[in-house]
Chain A
Amino acid sequence: MNDDRQTQSDDEAFAQRAKELLDAEGENLSAPVRSKLNQARQAALDELPAEKSGSFGGFNLGPVSVVMMIFSVSVMLWFFDLTLIEETEQEPVAAAEEQVTPDDFDMLLSVADLELMNDLDFYTWLGEELESDEDTTG
């Protein structure tokens, strides 16, 4: 009985010593090993599917943010659609004329038209002057 207890106690002491050695080994890993472990971890994390990592275009978005974003876009689309329908019902010809075409975007994005927009005040003033001249002469 005493022998059994002694053996158990020796086993525990042995395991404790082994644990201390292995713990120390884990804490004192060399820089190259740590670096390689880090690389291995990053390589494994790269395998995570996008929806699991919760990233979107490099930004981390929570589920609530994603839902809010979808809701906002839906509201904007719905509102834009409704406005267009109202205009179409009231003045079909005018609404058709005012519909945005791809050419309008091209015009807005072109450099020349951006310069024109910068001088918009000048052209507004010029227009008003011409109109007042016409009024006084006509």
Chain B
Amino acid sequence: MNTFLAEVEGRAFVIARAALRNEADALDVIQETMLRLVRKYADRASDEWRPLFYRILGNCIIDQQRKSNVRRRVMAVQPAGDSETDPVEQAPGHPGAEPDRQAMADETLHSLHAAVQTLPARQQQAFLLRVAEDMNVTQTATVMECSTGSVKTHYSRAVHTLRKILGDHWS
């Protein structure tokens, strides 16, 4: 189990961060996913762990997105003066602090994350499982508990939307 979790944790974190755009939330989701897998499915055959892990991860991401939406609505109701965010912390880093190439890659990645977050949950899941986790259509269908046809549709729509959104950033 340790080896399996060590293998998947990095990619799972990338998927969670792309879907949630928040590092702390992504880490919480990974923690919860690992705990649920160990508690409920540790006695299953090891080849079943991967689809189970990503199914739990998908559910946890959706739960977290709902919580974040509620939080956002509550924060929107609060008066602006209550905000405790430090403007210095929020300011972008100095452009010269990193090499240009890395900065460009970071910018592209951020725009990809932002675009992925606008996708409907099922499209987001299909895209991230197929691209970030390199799953084929059948494996993705197993994780998403739907037909391979649905996976193809979700994935195709996701790619189409992302290409449309990213357009200029994607050269």
Contacts and interface: CB of A to CB of B under 8 A. Distances in A.
B21 to A, nearest CB: 13
B16 to A, nearest CB: 11
A36 B25 CA distance: 12
A25 B112 CA distance: 12
B34 interface: yes
At the interface, is chain A mostly helix, strand, loop or mixed? helix
B163 A11 contact: yes
Given A33-B13, A43-B31, A22 B38 contact: no
A18 to B, nearest CB: 5
Q: Which of A15, A17, A40, A45 has the most C-beta atoms of chain B within 10 angstroms of its own C-beta? A: A40
A52 B43 contact: yes
A33 to B, nearest CB: 7
Given A24-B105, A44-B5, A37 B30 contact: yes
A60 B35 CA distance: 22
B13 A14 contact: no
Contacts of A19: 131-132, 134
Contacts of B163: 10-11, 14
Nearest to B160: A11
Q: What 3 pairs between A and B have smallest CB-CB spacing?
A: A44-B34, A40-B31, A22-B132
A10 B84 CA distance: 44
B159 A14 contact: yes
Interface residues of A, number: 28
Interface of A: 10-11, 14-15, 17-19, 21-27, 29, 33-34, 36-37, 40-41, 43-45, 47-49, 52
A44 B159 contact: no
A34 B6 CA distance: 10
Contacts of B2: 41, 45
A40 B30 contact: yes
B134 to A, nearest CB: 7
B14 to A, nearest CB: 5
Interface string B139-162: 000000000000000001001101
A47 B5 CA distance: 14
Contacts of A40: 9, 27, 30-31, 34
A19 B162 CA distance: 13
